[in-house]
Structure 1
């Protein structure tokens, strides 16, 4: 038998599955809006490069990096617009919790694609601007920084605060990339 002690504080939110799905959907939309803006600006600039006079003078390697960068930008755009079209096409089907999970996964895929797009764009820009052997090191350092900010820190925080029992969100809010 357990000894009586201080009353345990309730962890997490007291919300229905539908309320939780609504909250998570609104949070996800805010996150996607921030990311989409950056992707749209980057992709817009990428699309104009091919029409500049300087493009014709690029080495074949740089032209290849450019094409890869544009394709990655297009894939990133698709992944980050995907949650909106997914929601629109399934609205009214009473599957919002599942929609939020799928949209969250698309968003995470979009962030990975964004990392690849930014990496490729940095490689191209710095190769053209600097023409030296430091470029891969600089790009590698920046990729490391992005990985730290975008993935390592959030995963560390998730692990750290779930491990010591102070996870205020509760176990169901930290159960995967679609949690929170």
Structure 2
């Protein structure tokens, strides 16, 4: 087989083989996050049927509804790649499917951070105090933002310096999607 059309990623794969591998890796990532979203969503659904729910104040109810809707949106974003794949199946669009699905997953992570933050805000507000809830929610936002946003960038920079990771610019920006 000719080397024409082969990727320079060091994997000796064609662009379509690379897209197939990237989509498989993305689906594995989505399986992990989707399970967490489903558990969070189920937890939130059950709250409305607890004896203490009627005693929530206006802010707690607003936090609950907002967080529930964010969890629904996160679940929709994490399942959308399957729908995109299904809609474009066998149409030669795998690289496009991977790019769109990767963006959906990235947006889904951002929405999930907000849903987790809202959940912490609500639970700590009900269980402890409003001040404690605000502090715990801010901590959740910082921890998730740090681990999910800043840590990958720091690891990539360190990897670029040591030669273990190619820069996103070397791949036309594709490296920023998390799939290479």
1:145 Cα deviation after fit: 1.2
* Secondary structure at 2:59 match in 1: helix
> What residue number does 2:92 align with?
94
> What residue number does 2:144 align with?
146
Whether the 8 Å contact between 1:80 and 1:110 is mirrored in structure 2 is yes
Unmatched segments (≥5 aa) in structure 2: 1-7
Of 102, 105, 108, 2:103 maps to 105
- Whether 2:179 is the aligned partner of 1:179: answer yes
In 2, distance between residues paired with 1:168 and 1:56?
54
In 2, distance between residues paired with 1:12 and 1:167?
12
Q: Deviations over 1:13-46 (max 9, x none)?
A: 2110010001001100000000000000110111
Q: Which sits farther off after the overlay, 138-147 or 91-100? A: 138-147
TM-score by length of 1: 0.88
In 1, distance between residues paired with 2:65 and 2:150?
29
**Structural mapping, 1:9-24, within 5 Å:** 12-24=10-22
> What residue number does 1:30 align with?
28
Q: CA 1:91 to 1:169, structure 2 compared with 1: closer, same or farther past 3 Å?
A: farther
In 2, distance between residues paired with 1:103 and 1:174?
13
Q: Deviations over 1:27-67 (max 9, x none)?
A: 00000000000000110111111122211111111001000
In 1, distance between residues paired with 2:59 and 2:144?
25
Aligned positions, number: 171
> What residue number does 1:40 align with?
38
In 2, distance between residues paired with 1:131 and 1:146?
22
* Larger RCO, structures 1/2 (Cα 8 Å, 6+ apart): 1
> What residue number does 1:70 align with?
68
Whether the 8 Å contact between 1:69 and 1:120 is mirrored in structure 2 is yes
TM-score by length of 2: 0.88
Unmatched segments (≥5 aa) in structure 1: 1-9
* Secondary structure at 2:90 match in 1: coil
Q: Which sits farther off after the overlay, 68-77 or 49-58? A: 49-58
